[in-house]
């Protein structure tokens, strides 16, 4: 399984997932279809379907166009998310296969939008798993709770995504990592993992490289929103429960002027 980054708009990423045995491919959130098709041609792959994480225009806004450009392409999207151009609605636990080797599991991860789907992707051996988290889980951050609650985001991040294997690579929808880590340091100023990752992320961005992917393990080490189960993090923000800490940290992030 091969994953290609496709930078779009100002700070979005689309991703191409390629089954190397059959040269069949899927694309996550193809907001700029012409860029996606150019990458498909360069890699000589057959684009089979689209995986849409959620209905916001900067993720689903290219779906209608890619349907025109690739006749017969399937567009997957969350069953309650009203995704533009959707041909095949998915719910939590639904599976889709790509080529002969790749299995894609739909995970309902609401809060940013009510029908947000993250896609957990494994090859035949189950090795090198990846998850495409849209705007639910960012590197060292999470999406705003536009259509949901702190309880839902806690469930989405710490239970649903947090139960994936620790080495799972995390591919999110935006390049927000540097700002997220700067904020994370305001929550945990003594967390060396955050400081180290921030220095690395700043180096990556200076030379125009992505900070993605991360891993689930790294997120448990440096993402304040995935560390809310820890008593020391709850204490830092004056809270007594994980959900309360999730709500408090999100409010602080929303008001942060970093």
Ramachandran region, residue 136 (left: φ > 0; alpha: ψ -120 to 50; beta: rest): alpha
Active site residue 34: no
Catalytic residue among 59, 81, 108, 116: 59
CA quadruple 59, 65, 69, 72: dihedral sign = positive
Active site residue 59: yes
Token reading at 126 = 């189950």
Active site residue 88: no
- To 10 degrees, the CA torsion angle through 173, 178, 183, 184? 80
Task: Give which of 131, 130, 127, 129 is closest to 117, Cα–Cα.
Answer: 131
208 vs 25: CA distance, rounded Å:
26
Active site residue 56: yes
Active site residue 5: no
The secondary structure element, H or E, covering residue 241 is none
Token reading at 103 = 């299995």
Catalytic residue among 55, 112, 116, 123: 112
Place of tokens 């602080």: 252
Active site residue 112: yes
Catalytic residue among 54, 55, 108, 116: 54
31 vs 134: CA distance, rounded Å:
12
Catalytic residue among 56, 108, 116, 123: 56
Catalytic residue among 19, 29, 55, 58: 58
Active site residue 108: no
Catalogue the active-site residues.
54, 56, 58-59, 112, 135, 174
């Amino acid at each position: 399984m091969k994953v290609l980054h496709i930078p779009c708009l100002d700070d979005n990423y689309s991703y191409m997932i390629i089954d190397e045995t059959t040269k069949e491919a899927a694309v996550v959130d193809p907001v700029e279809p012409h860029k996606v098709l150019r990458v498909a041609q360069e890699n000589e792959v057959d684009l089979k379907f689209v995986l849409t994480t959620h209905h916001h225009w900067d993720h689903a806004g290219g779906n209608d166009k890619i349907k025109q450009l690739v006749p017969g392409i399937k567009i997957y999207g969350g069953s309650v998310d009203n995704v533009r151009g959707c041909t095949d609605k998915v719910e939590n636990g639904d599976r889709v296969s790509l080529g002969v080797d790749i299995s894609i599991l739909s995970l309902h991860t609401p809060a940013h939008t009510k029908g947000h789907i993250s896609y957990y992707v494994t090859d035949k051996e189950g090795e090198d798993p990846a998850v495409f988290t849209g705007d639910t889980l960012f590197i060292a951050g999470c999406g705003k709770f536009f259509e949901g609650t702190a309880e839902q985001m806690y469930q989405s991040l710490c239970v649903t995504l947090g139960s994936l294997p620790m080495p799972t690579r995390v591919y999110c929808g935006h390049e927000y990592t540097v700002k997220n880590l700067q904020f994370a340091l305001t929550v945990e100023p003594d967390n060396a993992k955050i400081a180290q990752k921030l220095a690395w992320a700043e180096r990556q961005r200076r030379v125009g490289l992505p900070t993605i992917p991360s891993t689930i393990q790294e997120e448990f080490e440096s993402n304040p929103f995935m560390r809310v189960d820890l008593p020391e993090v709850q204490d830092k923000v004056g809270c007594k429960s994980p959900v309360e800490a999730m709500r408090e940290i999100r409010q602080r992030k929303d008001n942060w002027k970093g």
